[in-house]
Structure 1
Amino acid sequence: MISEPELDGAWESARPAEVARDEAVPARRPVRPWQWVAATAVATSVLWAGGLYAFGERPAADPEVRYAVTDDLCGQFKAPALDRAMGGFTDSTSNEAGRHPAMEWASCSYDGGGSDGSGGLSLMVLVELHKKTDPGPEFALGSYYERILGAGVPWEEMPGLGEQALVRSSEAGDGLELRVRDGGAVFSFEVMSFGLSEEETGLPGKGAPPPDRDALTAAAVEDARALMAALRKDCL
């Protein structure tokens, strides 16, 4: 009588050699399609990044800042041209300056008015030094308040002043606004004149005529150039 082990051995010896060999060697696991897709995506991203670097698509560098500001902007800048054009300032105040890794700024306020009460005038100068973000792409959008309240008087290009300059009539009283961008620096001038008529002053012949727009613009441009020259690092 044939025992079970002998029977098993007999059957095993009777199997074809090819079948026994195939079962002895583990079958290779098939590669799934998504593994090829993932490997291709990684290789493509590496090549794409290398291509961008080679063609100059690197992270934007910090804007060039060729100017410096001090806490006492009024002491450094007197706005002589606008002072003459507007009849003289009687007071100036350096506002609080700021220092931050992303931006430095300083501002100064100038005020004046006729001794006979015929009106008033003011000038606000603001200097911003953008150290991390280029102000160029957003320069023409104006201030935060313009985007909230809506821009009124349109800006006009002023060639020959910095890298870009814009000017427009003031929306408050008779005056104008001038903004100049040069690298990471932005210079803002806001000139306002509040003239009163004879009826408002109650004094015959004491009404203050509004300042001439062209003369005011020329004075603001002259003072902007003087301020930029005074704040250049190579002049300090």
Structure 2
Amino acid sequence: MISDPELDGTGETRPAEPAEQAEEPPPREGEAGARRPWLWALGGAVIASALWAGGLYAFGDRLAAPELSYRATENLCQDFEARALGRIAGDLHRYRPRNQYDDHPAVRRAICSLQNGESISTLTVRAQVDLHRKTDPGPEFGVPSAWFSPEVGAVRTEEVRGLGERALLAVGPREMSVELKVLHGGAVFTVEATGTGGEQSTRADTAALRAAMVEDARALLAALKK
């Protein structure tokens, strides 16, 4: 604020001195340091929210319930006729076919175990159907099966075209074991065959065995199609 001019001893006016500006009080000790972590925390929360939203967007298909176009079955051996495999090893349903069924909230599972002999068999076959209700089984589909865990490095795997969305055929060591896995939406079909009739005879029949497994798996998908 500017005050009125004053008179000096000579009668002349003397300009008033300008009013002193108020100085800002210095920041309190630790005040600036306290603001910065708060700003960093706010920025971190924003970044974390953005990453979380991006993650949900990226994994939206993974978190969504997969499409299931196949029905469940409590008696898989009834639907898995194994006619092609039977032409190789004889009637596989003759010797006490065994069924297993588990209606879990995440995965509905059915298993059928077959063999071509009562006490001694030269071929054992196991068919399994997993209907995934919660998560998409696609990302883990190519993981090697635990069925071959003792000698995973010796397993040969190849793609089978024209069966489901994706199909993998794996041949174990010495060609004594063969596994066929088929993926279609949230359904995973598995057919496993193990020969016990001797290494030479099993090798000779490997090509026919693989072809029969593909044929029987295709028939099983058709039988369980909704």
Match of 2:110 in 1: 106
Aligned residue in 1 for 2:217: 224
Residue 86 of structure 1: aligned partner? 89
Kindly tell me: are residues 57 and 227 of structure 1, through their superposed partners in 2, closer, same or farther at Cα, counting changes over 3 Å? same
Name the SS of the counterpart of 2:139 in structure 1: helix
> Partner letter of residue 101 of structure 2?
A
Equivalents in 2 of 1:194, 1:33: separation in Å? 72
- Partner of 2:140, secondary structure, is helix
Q: Distance in 1 between matches of 2:25 and 2:125?
A: 88
Aligned to 2:207: 214
Q: Is the 1:175–1:213 Cα contact (8 Å) retained in structure 2?
A: no
Q: How many angstroms does 1:101 deviate by?
A: 1.1
Displacement of 1:80: 1.1
Whichever residue aligns with residue 208 of structure 2, its letter is A
Deviation at residue 221 of structure 1 after TM alignment:
0.8
TM norm structure 2 = 0.71
Quick one: structure 1 residues 42 and 185, their matched pair in 2 at CA, closer, same or farther if it must change by over 3 Å? Answer: same
Cα displacement string for residues 113-135 of structure 1 (whole angstroms, at most 9, x for unaligned residues): 49xx8x62221111111222322
* Superposition map of 1:1-236 within 5 A: 31=32, 32-46=35-49, 52=54, 56-57=57-58, 59=60, 60=62, 61-89=64-92, 90-113=94-117, 120-147=122-149, 149-151=150-152, 152-171=154-173, 174-195=176-197, 209-210=201-202, 212-232=205-225, 234=226
With normalisation by structure 1, the TM-score equals 0.69
- Aligned mates of 1:195, 1:45 — CA distance in 2: 60
Q: How many residues align?
A: 200
Distance 2:106 2:224 in 1: 19
Give, as a single letter, the amino acid of the residue that structure 2 aligns with 1:62: A
Assess if the C-alpha contact under 8 Å between 2:113 and 2:127 holds in 1: yes
- After superposition, the C-alpha distances for 1:76-109 in whole angstroms (9 at most, x for unaligned) are 2211111112232222423221011110101111
Change in CA separation of 1:42 and 1:176 when aligned onto 2, cut-off 3 Å = closer
Counterpart-to-counterpart distance in 2, 1:34 and 1:143: 50
Structure 2 residue matching 1:142: 3-state secondary structure: coil
Q: State the one-letter code of the partner of 1:57.
A: A
For residue 222 of structure 1, report the CA deviation from its aligned partner. Answer: 0.9
Q: For the Cα contact (< 8 Å) 1:92–1:108, is it kept in 2? A: no
Q: Which ranges of structure 2 fall in alignment gaps of 5 or more residues?
A: 1-18
CA apart distance, 1:140: 1.9
SS at match of 1:91: coil
Shift, 1:37, TM fit? 2.6
Q: C-alpha separation between the residues in 1 aligned to 2:77 and 2:66?
A: 26
- Give the RMSD, CA atoms, in angstroms: 3.6
What is the CA–CA distance in structure 1 between the aligned matches of 2:170 and 2:46, rounded to whole Å?
53
Distance 1:168 1:48 in 2: 39
